[in-house]
Structure formats: structure tokens, C-alpha cells
A and B are shown apart, each in its own frame.
Chain A
Amino acid sequence: GQQLNQSPQSMFIQEGEDVSMNCTSSSIFNTWLWYKQDPGEGPVLLIALYKAGELTSNGRLTAQFGITRKDSFLNISASIPSDVGIYFCAGQARGSTLGRLYFGRGTQLTVWP
């Protein structure tokens, strides 16, 4: 199956700092999604990207669909304690079964007050 490499695996930052994480794939994707998962809950969609080069914001979050269509990044500005959680990238490969998503292994974010 498709491999998604998500980095970093974990981050420990202080409140107010900016955060950046990224995801790369071995093949071309036509959809990139970023999710946040809190303990005991399912992933919650943060941002969806559908076009190469697309830059989309959702409050303090900004994500971009890479020009090569093999990567995406997520930035969080001015982090706050409630940003703590696991962030997953997910994508749909071009030509894959309709709607199937592949997930990265996640970035564990810890924010110190």
C-alpha cells in the first residue's frame, strides 16, 4: 500500500510558539487531509486540500498541498494548551479505490504552559 511519512513523530513546545509538521508520500495524491485526535476520540478533520499548491487556513491552522502533489504541511501559529493531541495527515492517492485514505503515523504535540 501507499506509504505516508509524517514528521516529526513528536514535538514539545511552549505555549505561544509556532508549530510545523509535514507529510510526504511515495506517489502522487489528489487529496490531502489533516486530522487531530484527542485521547479516546476519533480523528477530527481540521483542513482539507484538493488542489496542488492550495493553501488553506482554519483559524490558527494553515495547511498547504505541495506542488509536486507528494507532500503537505500543517502549521499551527501561537500554540495554546488545547492544541495538545495527535495530528495525522491523510491522503488519497491518484487512481486509488474511490475514497480510500492512507494515514501517516501521527505527530504527538505537547504544549507547555
Chain B
Amino acid sequence: EAGVAQSPRYKIIEKRQSVAFWCNPISGHATLYWYQQILGQGPKLLIQFQNNGVVDDSQLPKDRFSAERLKGVDSTLKIQPAKLEDSAVYLCASSLVRRQGANYGYTFGSGTRLTVV
């Protein structure tokens, strides 16, 4: 099966500019996640969607970050305006949660490496 697709792979922007990332999850995976991974750390959840609804966005800096999943499939994550500390890899993941409390098929994309200068 095809994996989680993300684009672009790399992006360099100046601070205060805006940027958007795109993710296409594995077909049939209802749950989609966006993670931020700062160099030397593990991924940190930004937002989680179940179909096209937000399940958890408690860690999302909502003053500058936004995300949507309008049709319950593809998703975009936007940063506006970007700050230097937003430099990180942004990972998208999807999973097929078959029963309460369990993750199945939790798969990550290759990520977008963002550098803010």
C-alpha cells in the first residue's frame, strides 16, 4: 500500500513569512496527526484529526499555526507568521484506530524540513 505522502520535502523561509505543508494519509486511515520534531528530540503532537474533525489541538500554537482536513482525507498545516523557533521537521502520520484506546497501522510520512532564517 502507498505510504503517507508529504510535500514539500524542504522549505526555507524568512521569519514573518507564511508557509504551508500538505499531507495525504494512507487510504482508509480515518485518523491523521501533525507532529513537530525539533532537532535532537522526539516528535511532539500538534494536532489530531478524526475524519475531518479536530480531536486534539491542545499543543498547537493557535496564534500562528492552523490546520484543516476539509474532506476527511488530505490535510494542510499552515504557519503564519513564522518564527525562528519554528525551524523543525513537520511530520504527518495516519492510523486506523479499530477500537477505543488502540493504535493500528500508525505510519509516518517522510516529513517536511522547515528552516526559518
Q: Is A106's CB within 8 Å of the partner chain B?
A: yes
Q: Is A30's CB within 8 Å of the partner chain B?
A: yes
Chain B residues, Cβ within 8 Å of A1: 59
CB-CB nearest in chain A for B104: A48
A5 and B101 CA atoms in complex are apart in Å by 22
Interface centre among A35, A44, A98, A99 (most CB of B within 10 A): A99
Chain A residues, Cβ within 8 Å of B44: 103
Q: A44-72, CB under 8 A of B: which get 1 and which 0?
A: 11001010000000000000000000000
Q: Is A92's CB within 8 Å of the partner chain B?
A: yes
CB within 8 Å for A44 and B108 given contacts A99-B48, A103-B44, A104-B42: yes
Chain B residues, Cβ within 8 Å of A44: 108
Within the complex, the shortest CB–CB distance from B60 to chain A, in Å, comes to 13
Chain A residues, Cβ within 8 Å of B107: 45
Cβ-defined contact, A40 with B113, below 8 A = yes
Q: Is A43's CB within 8 Å of the partner chain B?
A: yes
Chain B residues, Cβ within 8 Å of A50: 102
B residues lining the A interface (CB < 8 Å): 4, 31, 33, 40-45, 48, 50, 55-56, 59, 91, 93, 95, 97, 100-104, 106-111, 113
A residues lining the B interface (CB < 8 Å): 1, 4, 6, 30-31, 33, 35, 40-45, 48, 50, 88, 90, 92, 94, 97-106
